[in-house]
Amino acid sequence: MSSSCSHTIHRDRSHHGWNNAFRPAITIAPGESVAFETVDASGGQLSPDSSVADVANLDFEKVNPVTGPVYVDGAEPGDALKVTLLAFEPSGWGWTANIPGFGLLADQFPEPALHLWSYDEGSLAPALYGPGGRVPLKPFCGTIGVAPAEAGLQSIVPPRRVGGNMDSRDVAAGTELYLPVEVAGALFSVGDTHAAQGDGEVCGTAIESPMGVAARFELVKQAKLDFPRFTTPGPVSRHFDEKGYEVTTGIGPDLMTGARAAVGGMIDLLTGRHGLSAVEAYMLCSVAADLRISEIVDQPNWVVSLYFPRLVFD
């Protein structure tokens, strides 16, 4: 993959947090492409040989490293950086964890849990999970963005106006992403690559998997975007919807409460039907199920739904 790009940035040029004072790893001209080597979201603290004890001992100062930054000549505040994701080079392994204190149902799942994944990086055949589960794979960038205008080191955990930890599963191969530029050169970085994730990433982790990422960079002068936007190259759920969905809902005046109810209902369904433990079902929802707002106009109650693809177990 790197041979088809103008430049390569190796994984040793990763950093933690956003800071517009970071020295660029490289400087490029608009139109050039870069191959990035990424580190997994644990920052190398988890490996194919890890145990659940390693989850309990995670150092959060080391999580979500991103590779870069890239200085794009001519990028100025008010511009948009157009990032075309050309290709992904998966590693063949990954992890999903329930991290204490993190995730939509953190109060219900206080103990650490870990699932290690092994998958075929060539065919990207569905990855095995538990007794009979098969999760379709779709590599994408969980964290992708440019430096914010705020001075000093900024946390990489929350998403921002300039992108960052958006965890949007459709920021995948062929997608064109537009990021608001706030500092000269944009200072683009990428990491937190995933082999699969459901919309919502409800337990807080996806199939966290280190990968190579190839991207091309262009500028849209004075686009004045308020927030990131992106264009996908085609359908985004065809590999999930072949056999339909099981859907649970939460209904009430609070979207977060509704989301928790919808996920809880699916956990009950999966544990009763497929023999998973509750935390196994919770992690499976995070990598394969889509949390959606189904209705937000019929006050005072809104509807949140969790769509679980039936093909995982069929």
Position 115 in a domain: yes
Q: Is 78 in the same domain as 123?
A: yes
Q: Is 173 in the same domain as 266?
A: no
Q: Is 155 in the same domain as 275?
A: no
Of 231, 258, 284, the residue at which a domain comes to its end is 231
**Crossing angle, helix 255-274 and helix 278-288, to 10 degrees?**
120
Question: How many residues are listed for the chain in this entry?
Answer: 314
Q: Is 215 in the same domain as 250?
A: no
Which residues, at least 6 apart from 46, have a Cβ–Cβ distance to it below 8 Å? 40, 54, 55, 58, 95, 97, 114, 208
> Looking at the 3D structure of the chain, how many domains does it have?
2
- Residue 231: other Cβ atoms inside 10 A: 12
Q: Is 127 in the same domain as 191?
A: yes
Return the structure tokens found at 244. 């339909």
* 8-state DSSP, 18: B
Q: Is 174 in the same domain as 208?
A: yes
Of 184, 211, 231, the residue at which a domain comes to its end is 231
CA–CA separation, 247 vs 263, rounded Å? 10
pLDDT in tens, the chain (314 residues): 666 898 999 999 999 999 999 999 999 999 999 999 999 999 999 999 999 999 999 999 999 999 999 999 999 999 999 999 999 999 999 999 999 999 999 999 999 999 999 999 999 999 999 889 999 999 999 999 999 999 999 999 999 999 999 999 999 999 999 999 999 999 999 999 999 999 999 999 999 999 999 999 999 999 999 999 999 999 998 878 889 999 999 999 999 999 999 999 999 999 999 999 999 999 999 999 999 999 999 999 999 999 999 999 99
Which CATH number goes with the domain that contains 303? Answer: 3.10.28.20
Residue 88 vs residues 59, 71, 115, 155, 207: alpha-carbon distances, Å: 27, 22, 23, 26, 15
Which is nearest to 36 in space by CA: 236, 168, 190, 174?
190
CA–CA separation, 280 vs 10, rounded Å? 34
CA–CA separation, 260 vs 106, rounded Å? 10
The residue segments making up the domain with residue 70 are 2-231
Which CATH number goes with the domain that contains 35? Answer: 2.60.120.580
Position 40 in a domain: yes
Beta partners for 177?
83, 230
* 8-state DSSP, 73: T
Cis, bond preceding 30 (omega within 30 deg of 0): no
Of 231, 259, 293, the residue at which a domain comes to its end is 231
Q: Is 224 in the same domain as 265?
A: no
Q: Is 219 in the same domain as 77?
A: yes
Q: Is 206 in the same domain as 277?
A: no
